[in-house]
A = this chain, B = another copy of it.
């Protein structure tokens, strides 16, 4: 196993042997003042396209930090193709962090009837996701899709992607049964998404709309009432275990 330096940073720039990447402001602060990195200290870089690279810290000028890429440590790969579509909840930053750790490829906030949060700070969520990607050894940051109304999102839904919605009214089959079937049946469409509601759950019109959609499948998570963020994380974990890359 190749040695991977513990500090991992996401960068936008292309990565190749010898490339010198300028550290973003926050990264420069982190390297200088938190890590107290010396010139020549090793970090790892990834940009979601070119794999993971070893790099050395350099200080070409006052307050400037360059990261000089050395060799490729890992080839790029894509996370398994699972999205999390979620009504924003109070603990949205926590939800984004955990969904990133659990390998979601994209995160899609949707406003539902009972959603009490009026707007989503996309930049902030992207920062949460980036930090979680750096710490969890991912080679990509999940895409944070634009927030939109649930019904608009469903209207524009890509029909080849199965949408498992977490049905807290008990209308769904147990998640292990649904996912085992998905894994074993070649006819089940494989790119998937989970949809979770807000703290107060979906309302009846939303459930009715979901149940009429050919690509939507209700899923149950047992007899206890789970908070919205717990349900999202539990579903992602079960999916990775049964159908994703935990196997």
Chain A residues in the interface with B (C-beta under 8 A): 94, 98, 101-103, 135-138, 174-177, 220-227, 230, 233-235, 237-238, 240-242, 244-247
Contact = CB atoms under 8 A, between A and B. Distances in A.
B225 A137 contact: yes
Contacts of A238: 237-238, 241
A14 to B, nearest CB: 24
A237 B234 contact: yes
A183 B135 CA distance: 33
* Copies, count: 2
Nearest to A224: B136
B224 A233 contact: no
Contacts of A241: 174-176, 221-222, 234, 238, 241
10 contacts: A101-B226, A136-B227, A137-B223, A174-B241, A177-B247, A233-B233, A233-B237, A234-B234, A237-B237, A238-B241
A197 to B, nearest CB: 16
B245 A223 contact: yes
A137 to B, nearest CB: 5
Given A176-B246, A230-B233, A137 B224 contact: yes
A85 to B, nearest CB: 19
A229 to B, nearest CB: 9
B230 A244 contact: no
B101 A175 contact: no
A230 B101 contact: yes
Nearest to A137: B225
Contact of A136 (B94, B174, B225): B225
Given A101-B227, A227-B101, A222 B234 contact: no
Closest 5 CB pairs of A and B: A222-B246, A234-B237, A176-B241, A136-B224, A137-B225
Nearest to A91: B94
Nearest to A135: B225
A95 to B, nearest CB: 12
Contacts of A177: 247
Residue among A135, A223, A224, A245 with the most chain B CB within 10 A? A224
Contacts of A98: 230
Contacts of A220: 246
